[in-house]
Chain A
Amino acid sequence: MADFIKNTKKFFAKVKQSIKNFFWNIRRILNNGKRRIGKFLDKHNLNFASKFPGWAKALVYLSPALIVLSIFTFWPIINSFALVVYENYNMTSNTITGYTLFGNFITVITDESFIVPASHTGSSAVINTLIIVFISVPISVLLALFISAALNSIKPLKSFFQTIFFLPYVTNTIAIGLVFAYMFKTDGGLINQLLSFVGVDTAGLSWVESGAVYWRSMFVLIFYSIWASLAFKIMVFLTSIQGIDKQYYQAAAIDATPKGRIFTKITVPLISPMIFYILVTSVIGAFKIYNSIVALFGVTGAPSGVDYNLQSIVMYIYQFIDGSNAGSLSVAAAGSLILFAIILVLTLVQMQVSKKRVHY
């Protein structure tokens, strides 16, 4: 029996070796062929590839991506710049009544529920979005940092815990949203049950349903968007923390550095490029928030029967895109450009700050 196992092992080792030999030889033949072709081309002065400068070759390799990007990104961007100056653009008849430089911007800016909260809504898209961005992004980044530092120091069941924290990432956002909506139900929702368990009167304490006050539904929304975005951040931070050379921690231990200082003085600075990357992408992502709100509150962006609205900028823009009214596409374009400008400015500010704070 032992002999049999030994022979099988030997056999498989042999098979492995011959497979490796096979690929080795294939590569040799291919390389040889390449060299021969190259020589032939050089001899007859046909080798165009070596005549082109490097950037020209790079352009050729990039062209498939560039073509797709042009069709789906660059062209729409150019178009939205065009749309913004149209007056009363009609999509079906493809006609306009004239041109305007700021008209559409003014329409957007003065529109109720974009910047200024209208009396009957009590909130506006820009305010909602800014609240979400400036509360959820810092909290989720900080939380992700702490969790990944903690996860990194766990020894037993390490991969188990890491999997748990990564699970939300592979789950559908809409599905989690529905689960959240269910958890925050007024009657029999998990949260209210827990609250009444610790002695809070939860009768009529609604979170996402009619009767929920603005900050309560906003709380659920922020809670949800933090939760949904946490997994990816944790994964990025954890991988970068694990990439830090062990010797810095050894040096810190020798110098009797307290845990908190190790975190702020060594871990955070050493992964600061990643923190910066996550910060920029999450700010951009949070400005474009859309499906979390839909998942929690439906396409209206408001719990039923309330006088406010949790619409985000993208949701605001989206309602004009059906193009049923003349000129509405131009309004949407103006809204998009404003969003673009806000994100651009914020990203530039972050880059400026990062020059001092990020260590590459």
Chain B
Amino acid sequence: MELRLENLTKIFTNKTGAETTAVSELDIVIESGTLVGLLGPSGCGKSTTLFMIAGLEKPTGGKIFFGDDDVTKLAPEKRGIGLVFQNYALYPHMTVYNNILFPLENLDVPRTEAIQRVKEMANLVGIGELLDRKPSQLSGGQQQRVAIARALVKKPRVLLLDEPLSNLDARLRLQMREEIKRIQRETGITTIFVTHDQEEAMSISDKMVVLDFGIEQQYASPQSMYNNPDNIFVAKFLGNPPINTFEAEVKKGHLMINEHKFMKFDVPDGLYDVGMRPENFRATEEGFKIAIKDIFHIGRDTMIHFDFNGSNIRALVDSDNIEKGQKFVHLTIKSERVYIFDKKTGEVVNHG
């Protein structure tokens, strides 16, 4: 089912009348059966967006559509969604088994099938042994998996996951990530997956939305967002190690770095913020000569530190191309991998 947010806005007003804009005019269409990652720093309005879609929080403005139905005013129980809460919200007085069974008790499901589904789901998320325990007797990661099972067991039309893997260890996180992706593909549930981990979002999402202060920054597929960020915020948010940014001038169509012409760009002259990803540099015979400040060999790759216009820049290059004790290196980078951002608006000016 297609999910459409139109101008969705949420403004919290506290008792003294101070206003917080948690979500501002969010306008996105989530195609049926896709998994969309909602990505952004802490406090940017991810949970608020999910809560509005779930119906637990009333939007200040805008509309929410499930398919062709306007559900903006619909009560949460009528929306047929599954939600994994950021803090799990497992019923503390029920066993794991009853927690997972609870949603099914409210649906028209035969008892034997319900029990079957609970068992299957519990095994799927790897808590089949823990069905008799109370949530307080589980670790954070185990509770999180119970919460996932509880959301999935009723086969919802829309699945909302609020940082569902934040408490798992690295290995389990990878495993659950794949599991969620697999279940989502098989069932074709339209899913929104909230996370502040950019790598997780990139690996699981069909498309991603990046939010900052409640404002949509970009909505695109992970790879195209990574290669063509709309603005400096998105560019900085994605990628590990993070993108290098520095100030540079464009003079007569040439980007100037360390008082040399670096590359030709078809942008108006002026001062810009420039971004280059560490892994996009290549060490070659020719190219831009830089003085190595620091060098770290990390197995296959080598991290070189140097200065561009006074800012520390990192380049990740093949270890084979660097020799021990080298003081200088020649680097190249493709022009489409150089991002020039407007200093005021942060918008990219040489892409798009």
Contacts and interface: CB of A to CB of B under 8 A. Distances in A.
Contacts of A258: 106
B93 A247 contact: no
Contact of B82 (A254, A269, A272): A254
Contacts of A146: none
A254 B154 CA distance: 11
B83 interface: yes
B89 to A, nearest CB: 4
B281 interface: no
A260 B237 CA distance: 46
Contact of B106 (A248, A250, A257, A270): A257
A322 interface: no
Given A253-B75, A254-B76, A254-B77, A359 B92 contact: yes
Contacts of B76: 250, 253-254
Interface string B78-95: 101111010101111110
Interface in B237-277: none
A359 B94 CA distance: 9
A3 interface: no
A255 B54 contact: no
A256 B89 contact: no
A247 B107 contact: no
Interface in A241-289: 245, 247-248, 250-251, 253-258, 261, 265-266, 269-270, 272
A247 B102 CA distance: 15
A272 B94 CA distance: 13
B167 to A, nearest CB: 16
B62 interface: no
A253 B102 contact: no
Contacts of A248: 89, 91
A89 B83 CA distance: 74
A255 B91 contact: no
A256 B154 CA distance: 11
Contacts of B77: 253-257
Contacts of A272: 93
Interface in A269-313: 269-270, 272
B188 interface: no
Interface in B180-208: none
Contacts of B138: none
B56 A256 contact: no
Contacts of A265: 91, 102
B106 A251 contact: no
A255 B89 contact: no
Contacts of A257: 77, 102, 106
Contacts of B105: 261
B75 A251 contact: no
Nearest to A269: B93
A258 B103 CA distance: 11
Contacts of B103: 255-256
A256 B78 contact: yes
A205 to B, nearest CB: 48
A253 B206 CA distance: 29
Interface string B32-59: 0000000000000000000000111000
B91 A254 contact: no
Contact of A253 (B56, B80, B91, B150): B56
B106 A256 contact: yes
Nearest to A261: B106
A254 B56 contact: yes
A247 B81 contact: no
Contacts of B54: 250, 254
A254 B103 CA distance: 9
Contact of B87 (A247, A270, A359): A247
A266 B103 CA distance: 13
Contacts of B102: 255, 257, 265
Contacts of B89: 245, 247-248, 250-251
Nearest to A253: B76
Q: Which of A251, A254, A258 has the most CB of B within 10 A?
A: A254
B92 A254 contact: no
Q: Which of A248, A250, A359 has the most CB of B within 10 A?
A: A250
Nearest to A272: B93
Contacts of B94: 269
Contact of A250 (B56, B78, B90, B93): B56
Contacts of A254: 54, 56, 76-77, 81-83
Contact of A251 (B78, B91, B107): B91
A254 B90 CA distance: 12
A323 B81 CA distance: 73
Contacts of B87: 247
A1 to B, nearest CB: 23
A247 B85 contact: yes
B255 to A, nearest CB: 52
A269 B102 CA distance: 14
B106 A255 contact: yes
A265 B92 CA distance: 11
Contacts of B107: 256
Interface string B130-167: 00000000000000000000100010000000000000
A245 B103 CA distance: 19
Given A253-B56, A256-B78, A359-B93, 19 more contacts: A245-B89, A247-B89, A248-B91, A250-B54, A250-B76, A251-B89, A253-B76, A254-B77, A254-B82, A254-B83, A255-B77, A255-B102, A255-B103, A255-B150, A256-B80, A261-B105, A266-B91, A269-B94, A270-B93
17 contacts: A247-B85, A250-B56, A250-B85, A251-B83, A253-B56, A253-B77, A255-B77, A255-B102, A255-B106, A256-B107, A257-B77, A257-B102, A258-B106, A265-B102, A266-B91, A270-B93, A359-B93
The 6 closest A-B pairs by CB, nearest first: A359-B93, A256-B77, A255-B103, A247-B89, A269-B93, A251-B89
Interface of A: 245, 247-248, 250-251, 253-258, 261, 265-266, 269-270, 272, 359
